[in-house]
Structure 1
């Protein structure tokens, strides 16, 4: 018995010693070294990754692409045993989970906690997170703008840290509005060399809010897309996130709540919160159209830097705990969603209708909102105003506007035909991972042609574009397509994404982003109706 006790004490001592063994200085991140006054430069992130590489045989480093200024965009692949290629990952049978930080360079905690998590997963107490999954981390996605640091960039973060980078990339583009048009070097790299190449079952995108004084350390949103399959969203919203809400509170002392802001113009207490839009230009939302899970993480801007890091670290850690335990279930749900999308095309083309333009509506159930309280007062003019107190309260029966209803629907086709003159459209689809076939012989198709009566173009520029809105109607037609034209069979995994990009009335499709403007103008849209060049068919004619 005494021998057993001595052995037990000895083993406990080894465990405690291992837990308290200090890291070497080169494994301490920039915020940790500077009392959370500074955030990492690109060079410091790369030095940290190289240090991790030198100390672990479970890490592979590759670059998804190169920025405009020539910086490699690192992707750290962690697996046990080591995985060095997407093919090896597929052969392993383990699901791939992808997390990225720094899409907006002023929102820095994602970049920092991914370094901390690399350290803890590869060298510390979280090695078990590689038992059942392969993890891909891109800590510094917006590489160029990270180092363009100045004070006062994000007032809601209250100079914590003192200096941060800028929101847009070096092309002046918001990387989180580029998911469909793919004009940024970074977006092209992400889609082609992460989403298509590695085919992750989940994407987590790490942000900081812009200022709403809610009472959560972190807020979340799933992949909003009601033109996609519902199962991945349902699992994320009804099972995954509620579980993580409990575990992060227990393990990290962080309150987690749904993403959204409220307006004091509606009075106080708050009656409703409103999420962001459903468009797949947002990378998280596009995951829904890819039959995968997407999660948005938004740290509370008004917390100090170290507290935002703790909340974001806890959220990502608990997400990865969940996926490590439920990875097989997630793979099954996503695979079924893909199969359901394909079967829907095969069985319901020409009959089923799907949304292409949406409006925001409240969820059926209300919820209890945790938020800072506001005090009402009358100003000198007798007008009612509100000022925030330091007290956090809970408001029951608040509506959550995070659901989207179709305002315009379009018939689901069996596929599309694209004339050979539109090869740039084909090239763009292929970059997204869409399968396109070049015709080697002619085909006749029965379907519908969209006759555009008007193309309303915004007078205000957004992300370098004057957004377009097509008006017109579909008319039945049989058309012949020749050798050299292109054929998109919709019975493929990305059918929902294809539909949303190619439907002319889509609120975030290729028409919206001006891909066809020159064609319409050359064909006289200002003076007469013009046929949309992409033909949707329901049946091939022999």
Structure 2
């Protein structure tokens, strides 16, 4: 018993000191420290009273906001949904408008900023920064920030994960002491859910986007990975993606001014950083716009200016929170002065009807199988001829060390600041181009998909009576239910599928209650990403149509044998095709069931809807 107790104590001691073995920390002080409230301030936050070692619980946070809203005419608190465990997801609105509704805020003509924190609830800097900023708007000297801008703030999106709090949740992050969990109560990653919208949390956010139509949408995160000098990173794909005019505004107008404000307050802003080899920057940095499963890429797909913020996990919690405060304040100021130019850029992008539309992008000359969620497999081809951009990196020195445990190499960060020039690869080459159809017919029995399309805010027409139309449809060949490594594993609650969509023209009858979706609408591009099989975030890819991959009628051998004999006797061409296939495919030649199925598929008895994707493209 004594030995067991000593072991438990030693484990506990290690866990309690786990953050002490993080890479060396650089001492930091900045002008933004002046934002910290005086201890006598009635509205001082938990982060401030604890010297930025703690963050408040869900109940403490919402109680604080309710009191703030009751005390200030400029702060309103509203429910936008409930979590799987029944917690209310609150949104706080800061506005000088007398009536605070989606309609009234839009009617005001003022730019609307929507910022959310805690989509990964261990990455909670945004919540504490938002509390401080809203306090100062209500009772400090920052009311002017909302005179020309309406501010929507979601303090905690992943409210259930937030309450799965522990000091052991994020070992790569330096504070606070208590951190929430990455996924929600269903073990789903909310920032992989924007396309398929399984979760109540993301459905709530998309409903806010549809109702309020924010001019700019910010998603506040904290990194997991490599060490560098920057404490706050965002942006970097200038003029790229699906909303090029918005992207140019974000790069040239927004990031330029926000960087100045951060630097003036003692912070070190940078572009988003993802090491190409997933450990250090010796092989360069890589940037990709991602798929619309991610918040910022989803915003890009629906032509809403979207900013992904990644605070650096190895910087002190205080530094990260204060940097987020400065960025939020800067964003409000920029929208007040430059909101009209962003509106013009948004109108431009929403009016475009690009065709063909790429379903994704890759780095020029890079292997198109690069998985940007697992950058460790990213490898350049030997024949790369397009030089990447260069990036002046304010880095931290690293060295390769041989592990005494695994006998393999790992990276050790020394804490010494270094400046280096590295390759900066950008995913800008279009892939899987799809010609834009006039629209899509979705049959009534695809009710789950129709409902999710509605949740996205996509406009559609419901057929009042059956309609026969000539459409292009896909038959999905060579379907594989596995990832790039050949593993057959569930991902975010789904069995994903990849296949080759082979088009065919058909006359199809769509029953009454089916829907027609025109692509000539602001969310036309998003419609294509959700319905085109080539899209990695289509409903087909997420497994919503897996039933098309099963055959439900069969034919017995005693029927096939005489049928095949007659087929071969009647068609010398079929006989030659059969012999050639046996000669070229030994697996086929030695598998009787496969041979029977091959002949069966050439009869009128075969299910002509097998592998047929049921969505019709109106050309």
TM-score range, shorter-chain basis? 0.7 to 0.9
The yes-or-no answer on 1:406 pairing with 2:430 is yes
Secondary structure in 1 matching 2:172: helix
Query: Could you tell me how far 1:313 is from its partner in structure 2?
Result: 1.5
Q: TM-score w.r.t. structure 1 length?
A: 0.86
Instruction: Identify the range of structure 1 (34-43 vs 110-119) with the bigger mean alpha-carbon deviation.
Output: 34-43
Decide whether the 8 Å contact of 1:225 with 1:279 is kept in 2.
no
Q: Which residue of 2 aligns with 1:8?
A: none
Q: Which residue of 2 aligns with 1:237?
A: 251
CA distance in 1, matches of 2:273, 2:218: 18
Decide whether the 8 Å contact of 1:274 with 1:402 is kept in 2.
yes
Query: Could you tell me how far 1:78 is from its partner in structure 2?
Result: 1.2
What whole-Å deviation, never above 9, does each CA across 1:165-206 have from its counterpart, x for those lacking one? 1111111111111111111111111112x1111111111011
CA distance in 2, matches of 1:474, 1:284: 31
Q: 1:59 aligns with which of 75, 79, 82?
A: 75
Q: Which residue of 2 aligns with 1:274?
A: 286
Q: Which residue of 2 aligns with 1:349?
A: none
Decide whether the 8 Å contact of 1:167 with 1:174 is kept in 2.
yes
The yes-or-no answer on 1:355 pairing with 2:358 is yes
Q: 1:524 to 1:283 in 2, by over 3 A?
A: farther
CA distance in 2, matches of 1:203, 1:242: 18
Query: Could you tell me how far 1:384 is from its partner in structure 2?
Result: 8.0
- Aligned pairs (5 A) from 1:107-506: 107-158=123-174, 160-192=175-207, 194-221=208-235, 228-250=242-264, 252-262=265-275, 270-275=282-287, 278-341=290-353, 344=354, 352-361=355-364, 365-375=389-399, 387-396=412-421, 398-443=422-467, 445-458=469-482, 459-506=488-535
CA distance in 2, matches of 1:484, 1:225: 41
CA distance in 2, matches of 1:503, 1:386: 41
Q: 1:383 to 1:452 in 2, by over 3 A?
A: closer
Decide whether the 8 Å contact of 2:238 with 2:251 is kept in 1.
no
Secondary structure in 2 matching 1:284: helix
Secondary structure in 2 matching 1:515: coil
Decide whether the 8 Å contact of 1:363 with 1:400 is kept in 2.
no
Query: Could you tell me how far 1:263 is from its partner in structure 2?
Result: 5.6
Q: Which residue of 1 aligns with 2:113?
A: 97
CA distance in 2, matches of 1:377, 1:141: 39
CA distance in 2, matches of 1:331, 1:384: 50
The yes-or-no answer on 1:47 pairing with 2:63 is yes
Q: 1:184 to 1:373 in 2, by over 3 A?
A: same
Number of corresponding residues: 506
Q: 1:364 to 1:414 in 2, by over 3 A?
A: farther
CA distance in 2, matches of 1:291, 1:265: 30
Q: 1:264 to 1:147 in 2, by over 3 A?
A: same
CA distance in 2, matches of 1:102, 1:325: 28
Secondary structure in 1 matching 2:344: helix
CA distance in 1, matches of 2:55, 2:617: 50
CA distance in 2, matches of 1:523, 1:357: 34
Structure label with greater radius of gyration: 2
Q: Give 5+ residue unaligned stretches, structure 2.
A: 1-34, 365-385, 483-487, 555-593, 602-609
Which of the two has greater strand per residue? 1
